[in-house]
Amino acid sequence: MIDALLRRPAGTGEFFADAVRLACLFSLVAALLWYGPVDVALFLLVLGGTLVSRSLEISRLYDGIYSLTLLTAAWSSTLDIYAKVSWWDLPVHFAATGVIAAMTYFLLARMGAVPVPGSHPGSSTDRVSIPVLVFALGLAVSVLWELAEWWGNYFVDATINVGYQDTMGDLAAGGLGALLAGILVGRTVYRSGADSGRVFRLGQLLPRRLQR
């Protein structure tokens, strides 16, 4: 994982992903200069998440999409877009929870904490178990996200929007995003194993021509 983190970018996908990471770093600097400690902590968390994705052997285009989604969610909070655009909260929860749930699954698979994708090439096991697991991870992420919002509202800034309707809507959107992510990953793994008869590699999340 360390070698993957330190390697030089190669190909369009990797340059795109690293450009987003660079934007995350600039965002952190901007938060240090012009915003408060909450925003600094938020962009530190985002930058850390994008470094985790770089350390994994996954599609670099997916890495970039994941990183851009996190950065968009962070700036939406910093610029109060959630408050200014009432409906913006739901699509962000849908997209962010989906990509985080899938990335969490890949990280756990890399660590050996969950079954490696494609352990039984062509088997329907991955097609069912991966969506269920990614969906469960997404629900866990959504709950942690809502707990963080409640903590922030109670201890840091009372303007952070919390409430029954908001929480239930966020959980529903996040759960749907995770379910879609799980189905897509499960189908990709299943088709890769069925077509090639070999173990799925994390880098095969997207078609080969889009990986770089």
The per-residue pLDDT of the chain, averaged, comes to 83
> 56 and 104 share a domain?
no
Instruction: Give the pLDDT of residue 161.
Output: 76
> 28 and 112 share a domain?
no
Residue 2 forms part of a structural domain: no
Tell me the average pLDDT across 44-61.
91
> 62 and 95 share a domain?
no
Residue 185 forms part of a structural domain: yes
Instruction: Give the pLDDT of residue 114.
Output: 80
> 61 and 156 share a domain?
no
Q: Last residue of a domain, which of 51, 79, 107?
A: 79
Q: Is the pLDDT of residue 157 over 80?
A: no
Residue 196 forms part of a structural domain: yes
Task: Identify the residue with better confidence: 127 or 72.
Answer: 72
Task: Identify the residue with better confidence: 148 or 70.
Answer: 70
Q: Is the pLDDT of residue 3 over 80?
A: no
Q: Last residue of a domain, which of 44, 61, 79?
A: 79
Residue 209 forms part of a structural domain: no
Residue 84 forms part of a structural domain: no
Q: pLDDT grade, residue 208 (50/70/90)?
A: very low
> 57 and 135 share a domain?
no
Instruction: Give the pLDDT of residue 121.
Output: 54
> 192 and 104 share a domain?
yes
Select from 144, 139, 134 the least CA-distant residue to 205.
134
> 35 and 123 share a domain?
no
> 114 and 152 share a domain?
yes
Select from 200, 181, 193 the least CA-distant residue to 134.
181
Q: At what angle do helices 125-155 and 89-111 cross, to 10 degrees?
A: 120
Instruction: Give the pLDDT of residue 116.
Output: 67
CB 16 within 8 A of CB 59: no
Tell me the average pLDDT across 86-98.
95
Task: Identify the residue with better confidence: 12 or 26.
Answer: 26
Tell me the average pLDDT across 134-150.
94
Q: pLDDT grade, residue 64 (50/70/90)?
A: very high
- Give percent above pLDDT 90 in the chain: 52
> 93 and 192 share a domain?
yes
CB 48 within 8 A of CB 21: no
> 95 and 192 share a domain?
yes
Residue 172 forms part of a structural domain: yes
Instruction: Give the pLDDT of residue 38.
Output: 87
Task: Identify the residue with better confidence: 127 or 74.
Answer: 74
Instruction: Give the pLDDT of residue 128.
Output: 81
Cα dist from 22 to 1, 16, 31, 116, whole Å: 20, 10, 14, 31
- Give percent above pLDDT 70 in the chain: 79
Give me the domain span that covers residue 56: 8-79
Cα dist from 12 to 9, 17, 52, 58, 209, whole Å: 9, 9, 20, 14, 10
Residue 173 forms part of a structural domain: yes
State how many domains the chain has. Answer: 2
Q: Last residue of a domain, which of 24, 51, 79?
A: 79
> 182 and 99 share a domain?
yes
